[in-house]
Structure 1
Amino acid sequence: MSITLILASQSPRRKELLQQLGYDFICLPADIDESVLPTETPEQYVARLALEKARAIAKQHGEDVVVLGSDTSVVFGQHILGKPESLTDCLATLKMLSGNSHQVITAIAAVKGERSSVVVVRTEVDFKVLTEQEIKHYWQTGEPQDKAGAYGIQGVAGQFVKQIRGSYSAVVGLPLYETAELLSAFGVKSSMTQA
């Protein structure tokens, strides 16, 4: 009996990364409230969201389905940086990250029936010093608009990154090593692991 895998996301980046690992899956985005709770740390926040996304989809399916949920936050000094709603937002966020180190925290959660497991991956990212002009040019590319922390490391903003310590794929949205380990623990096989 083959286990069906569902990715509780419509992110093209997460979809691409999961395909890279050789899994067959379908995408069903979960509609949940993503508000930060008053006493939550960034780690607790991403872990809760990843699990809520997976559980919301798992509730609609049978016991033989594994649902993978994921959430990524860009964090600067315990402050979660959301998606910029304007050039002003983008300037404020990227000026904060400019010449500094920040964390990208990604949580993945697997849910199968009553069983669930969550893994949190933290990556340190160092940015070069950015000029206001560079930030404005970057905003014009359209890339920052739907990205937490106002940048996508896999796109134009890759040139802003001096160094990372941790998982590159986690910064993009899905830590490959941890995802493969988690799904293997839930009995999900990829084309890479099948003989």
Structure 2
Amino acid sequence: MLLTEKFRDTNIILASQSPRRKELLAGLGLSFSTISLDIDETFDRDIYKAEKITELLSAKKAQAYTAIQPNDLIITSDTTVWVDGESLEKAENREEAYEMIKKLSGKTHSVYTSVTIRTIDKEKTFSDETLVTFSDLSDEEIYFYIDNYKPYDKAGAYGVQEWIGYIGVENMNGSYFNVMGLPTHKLYQELKNL
């Protein structure tokens, strides 16, 4: 059975204001609404590493939605960029964005995205990892990207679908859509199995 048929009478809610996640979920052919959830995204950096960070935050977001009804299906997600044992989340300013992209330049990093699916009686969190290799980027290229694309709402301060992805990504092992913020192939399977 196609997902459009399976969830025809389900109120699917994407708890994200990310335009990329909205675009990717719409690409699965599902009808959904969106909400914004405010949660405390701090975590113990000594305990939570790599995909454990995104699993924690995605589940926290799902639990933050307290108005869940019997016909609701909530989808939350979180993405981080992991390089040299460090999690790169969103940059606060131009210099922070520069520092993040400079750390990625000439290296392979992991992009982890976790997704939580929650109904009134079930909850499941799953993750995906994509390895991304950047070429060596000059300061001029990094600042051009930051100044023209303002990537402050993106983990690791870059969007693979933007200019920097065209010129900087040498290799990718895993899902491109995972790097954009939603592992659509895994989400599709999990929804089929729900």
Q: TM-score, normalised by structure 2?
A: 0.91
Check if 1:108 corresponds to 2:142. no
Contact 1:126 1:163 in 2 (8 A): yes
Check if 1:177 corresponds to 2:185. yes
> 1:25-64, aligned counterparts within 5 Å?
25-38=32-45, 39-57=47-65, 59-64=66-71
- Structure 1 residues 80-89 or 70-79, which shifts more? 80-89
Match of 2:95 among 72, 88, 107: 88
Contact 1:37 1:45 in 2 (8 A): no
CA distance in 1, matches of 2:93, 2:37: 25
- Residue 130 of structure 1: how far off its partner (Å): 0.4
Match of 1:145, SS state, is: coil
Q: What is the aligned residue count? A: 185
| Structure 1, unpaired ranges of 5+ | 187-195
| Structure 2, unpaired ranges of 5+ | 1-7
* Deviation beyond 4 Å, 4+ runs, structure 1: none
CA distance in 2, matches of 1:86, 1:24: 35
Identity level (%) = 35
Contact 1:55 1:67 in 2 (8 A): no
The one-character-per-residue Cα deviations of 1:122-141 (angstroms, maximum 9, x if unpaired) are 10000010001111111111
CA distance in 2, matches of 1:20, 1:85: 30
CA distance in 2, matches of 1:103, 1:121: 10
Counterpart in the other structure of 2:5? none
Check if 1:3 corresponds to 2:22. no
- Structure 1 residues 135-144 or 172-181, which shifts more? 135-144
The one-character-per-residue Cα deviations of 1:71-125 (angstroms, maximum 9, x if unpaired) are 0001102211122222221221111111000000000110111311111101000
How large is the RMSD of aligned CA atoms in angstroms? 1.3
Contact 1:143 1:155 in 2 (8 A): no
**Residue 168 of structure 2 aligns to which amino acid in structure 1?**
F
Check if 1:136 corresponds to 2:146. no
- Residue 147 of structure 1: how far off its partner (Å): 1.3
CA distance in 1, matches of 2:81, 2:160: 11
Check if 1:68 corresponds to 2:75. yes
